[in-house]
Amino acid sequence: MARTSGGRLIAAIIVGAIAVPLSGCLYAQIPSDPVVVDEPVDEPVDEPAEEPSGSLPSTLSFADGTALPATAYVEWGDGFFADDGWTVEQPDDGNGGWSYRTIDGTCLAQFWQGLIPDVPVVDGDDGISSDAMLAVILGDAATADITPVATTGGFAYQSSGNTDVENRQVTGQDGERVWIMAARAFTATGVGVYVIVDCTGGDAAAVMAEVVAANAIVVTE
């Protein structure tokens, strides 16, 4: 399902297009020892995986991201559109954001894609720039605060069954509420994507693994 490409990240936060489903001092909810979120295991799928075409790199590690053509289009693939285990919480808002909730109501997954010219990225360093995205989304931290408490994970690339798009993620907890935020900046194209999994009573790590397995990052030239 095609989704709109958002505007600028900071502008979207200011106008409320990104309704971060959390409250309080979010950075304070992140433990000093990074929480490692188990990634879905790469398993063979019945259908051949969609291979990157043209000049696209075969994987999207942070280093590989610098090889993306500046004109490449990066977006989320919507794997929950026809999934009976999820229901639409917020339809595509036209600013790059939408969200789904688990059918039992315990977990929310909020997606965003769009431009990041107002994020203090480091050209050619998608890893640090992804930390900068997390800091902007959190709103009460700097990039230097995020780097030591974040871990490196992965999104699926082009289709399910892999974790070939490196990302940076942080986990926080406030009582029974556990949230995981994962982001990837693509400095070669000036865009970024993120997802927040926010659970009360649910297994946030397992839900994040499900989100990653079902929703690939799709790149076209």
Low-confidence ranges of the chain (pLDDT < 70): 1-53
pLDDT of residue 45: 40
Consecutive H or E run containing 214: helix 204-214
pLDDT of residue 174: 87
**What would the 3-class secondary structure string for 94-117 be?**
CCCEEEEEECCCCEEEEEEEEECC
Are 92 and 99 in contact by the 8 Å Cβ rule? The answer is no
Q: Which residues contact 140 (CB under 8 A, 6 or more apart)?
A: 25, 26, 27, 28
The Cα–Cα gap between 81 and 141 comes to 33
The Cα–Cα gap between 39 and 208 comes to 8
Over residues 84-111, the pLDDT tens digits come to 999 999 999 888 999 999 999 999 999 9
pLDDT of residue 199: 95
Check residue 39 and report its DSSP letter: P
* Structure tokens belonging to residue 219: 């790149």
